[in-house]
A and B are shown apart, each in its own frame.
Chain A
Amino acid sequence: MPIDRAVRSTTLAVRLGAVVLSGALLAACGGSSDGATTDAAGGDVTITVDLFGSFGYKEAGLYAEYEKLHPGVTIKQTDTEDEADYWKSLQTRLAGGGGLADVQGVEVGRIASVTQQQADKFEDLKKYGADGLKGQFAEAKWAAATGKNGEVLGLGTDVGPEAMCYRKDLFAKAGLPTDREALAKEWGDWDGYLELGKRYKAKAPAKSAWLDSVGSLYSIMIGQEQERYYDASGKLIWEENPALRAAWDHSVKAAADGLSAKLDQWSPQWNQAFSAGSFATMPCPAWMLGYIKGQAGETGKGKWDVAALPGGAGNWGGSYLAVPKAAQHKKEAYELIKWLTAPEQQARLFEKQGNFPSSTGAIEKVATATDPYFSNAPIGKIFGDAAKAAPVQVLGVHDQNIAQQITNALSEVERKGTAPEKAWENARKGVANTLG
């Protein structure tokens, strides 16, 4: 492959080095020319899509439908379960300039990194007419993927409005109310939620805790805040942020009261615990519904329910689809993500997989949706209300890594009995090391 002559020798050396460093034995011919976006002779095209977690496109049959609508197009998807692993691998390939898929997923916690640090590595979708789509999306969703110079670097897929998932059957055994309206009143705020947890613990079935981990409690609470780790000017404020401290304190209290099953989210043990009934509640962003269905399986059907979240609305997660500059079929990739993120497809995805739409048109479409798996809970209304009321979050480059250090420290309190102040100090050191 000819190397673009415009690439200066220094950047070439850096690219080469990055490739060798990463151990990825990819060709260092990253200098892609902008003209070559279509396959020769308009023949068959294979669009590669590289994602993390569960976007659910394949499961919802959307790829198959797109292929039917566009003869000659084949879609190949690769998927990494853990977003952190996915991001590592994506960064390595971006640095090396090779091995990238035509469509790459980007989590909302990373989108600031893309807009602030890597705008030159992704296609500006305006080039293909993405400007016209702006009106379809929730304003904040669109703004977060817009670069400094107004580039459109990704199209929004889902958002993560938060609610509380709970096991109706376990609640009944412990003598707690099981009606979602009644519960929403009982846990109007987080203190109420922890109080109810104590009542559950007193009469709970053996080996069943109130919630899965204090890490997930922290994550859902911090999702209710507008400012978390950075302020709007990009200054690091997490240590002084009273809202963060409140989320921390509630998590510490839950650990001290023994309300947690002490499970790491996304670990195999956590997965096993779904079917074992190790916890009665789990804070759940909309995309978690699909995960619960997958892990708890058919036997969990009807046992779960969804209620409004204690302490008001929040958002946890959500994603974007982006096209790297080094992609081979950029035009086709844009057409695909435009279709996948259109209101009709987002609405269908929510009904099948639970990923809540970021497109305003789709939010209206699903307002009356219910889910038989979750005892016919009106998930369209619960998550729709949350999505409307959720704060527009300030996103920072290192959000994800900082959050990881804090949840690690909380896990120390929960599982090793580390004193909360000591753990806070550990989190501080961890964050300093992360930002390096």
Chain B
Amino acid sequence: MTLTAPVNPPKALPVSRRESSVRRAWRKASPYAYIAPFFTLFAAFGVFPLIYTAYVSLYRVELQTPGDMEWRGLGNYTALLGDEFFWNSLRNTFTIGVLSTVPQLVIALGLAHLLNYRMRGRTFLRTAVLLPYATSVAAATLVFAQLFGRDFGLINYVLGAVGIGPVDWQNDTVASQIAVSTVVVWRWTGYNALIYLAGMQSIPDELYEAAAMDGASRWRQFFHVTLPGLRPTIVFTVIVSTIGATQLFGEPLLLEGSISGGISHQYQTLGLYMYEQGWGFFHLGRAAAIAWVMFLLIVVVVGVNALIARRRSRKEAGR
């Protein structure tokens, strides 16, 4: 997709040679000057930490004594392979990722479809679904942690009223992962719904009219017109939520305030494990290695995602 329309080169103006060369130089250089602030900040707070983290990950460094660095080569990485806490957190990241991303996108799609109808108070509703996104992770998670309380939580109170015995939302593996996912779903569904809504509005009305003429029901219209039209949007949201799920950190940290992700690491994600290694145990080298593994993991996952999407769209085009 190109953002700028092709511009015809302006005809040479009758000005002096010297002036025009200065101008030409400025015209060439100015775009770089305009984007320089971003790249300066990006270099300082994006690229440098990235490279420095890679450097640190090759050493044994403790936060208490950052001056004593002991060369370990790839030792921090190979140690991860045999580290069951690492695999556990990777597994948790995946299951919590699925538990949060799938319902989130499915509900968002449904919501967007409903919001696309002509109805009273449409603008109000569209704004309202975005509200959870505007709350901070910390605030939302702390409130949910209260709701999910084992002894005095509202959710267990309601479940108890219909005869379902108290669920231990903190210590039970599945229940705790559902609790964490719920916070994610609640915060991000509205955001995705609005993105889908924007995508839906770019689908030409004629397609719906033609489908209606052919006698397609609302459901069939949704499946055969809306969904194919939304494909690029869906790919975008899947990629963005996958990245978000891989980095999941604030919600599991604040559910109980435990850096271990619960007493038996039952909802410890990769991000949380990195934090535990770095700021719980002060092993900066190992934490840096985990950070890099996460980075590579995201690159691979997003790459695979993009590849599948491209395959499919090519197939589509070939049809």
Contact = CB atoms under 8 A, between A and B. Distances in A.
Interface of A: 11, 14-15, 17-18, 20-21, 82, 84-85, 88, 91-92, 94-95, 113, 117-118, 207, 263-264, 267-269, 272-273, 276, 278, 401, 408-409, 411-412, 415-416, 418, 426, 429, 433-436
Interface in B72-114: 83-85
Contacts, number: 95
Interface in B154-199: 168, 170-172
A302 B284 CA distance: 49
Given A88-B279, A436-B283, A11 B263 contact: no
B271 interface: no
Contacts of B284: 18, 21
Interface size class of chain B, counting residues whose CB lies under 8 Å from the partner chain: 35 or more
B176 to A, nearest CB: 11
Given A95-B66, A267-B257, 11 more contacts: A91-B279, A95-B63, A264-B263, A269-B151, A408-B264, A409-B263, A411-B263, A412-B264, A433-B85, A434-B281, A436-B277
A433 B263 CA distance: 15
B52 A20 contact: yes
A276 B259 CA distance: 28
Contacts of A18: 63, 66, 284
A91 B56 contact: no
Contacts of B281: 401, 433-436
Contact of A118 (B53, B64, B145, B151): B64
Interface in B244-287: 256-257, 259-260, 263-264, 277-284, 286
Interface of B: 48-49, 52-53, 55-56, 63-67, 69, 83-85, 145-146, 149-152, 168, 170-172, 256-257, 259-260, 263-264, 277-284, 286, 288
A92 B83 CA distance: 25
A11 B67 contact: yes
Taking chain B's interface residues, is the majority helix, strand, or loop, or is none over half, making it mixed? mixed
A14 B285 CA distance: 13
Contacts of A17: 52, 55-56, 66
B282 A91 contact: yes
22 contacts: A14-B67, A21-B49, A82-B257, A84-B259, A94-B64, A117-B65, A263-B151, A264-B263, A268-B146, A269-B152, A272-B151, A408-B264, A411-B171, A411-B263, A416-B263, A416-B264, A429-B84, A429-B85, A433-B83, A433-B281, A436-B281, A436-B286
Nearest to A398: B281
B64 A113 contact: yes
Contact of B263 (A91, A276, A408): A408
A39 to B, nearest CB: 30
B286 A267 contact: no
Contacts of A95: 63-64, 66
Given A21-B52, A21-B56, A82-B257, A92 B63 contact: yes
A91 B283 contact: no
A401 B277 CA distance: 12
Contacts of B279: 88, 91-92
A29 B242 CA distance: 39
B147 to A, nearest CB: 12
A268 B83 CA distance: 32
A23 B146 CA distance: 29
Given A412-B263, A415-B168, A416-B264, A269 B149 contact: yes
B49 A408 contact: no
B92 to A, nearest CB: 16
B68 to A, nearest CB: 9
B47 to A, nearest CB: 11
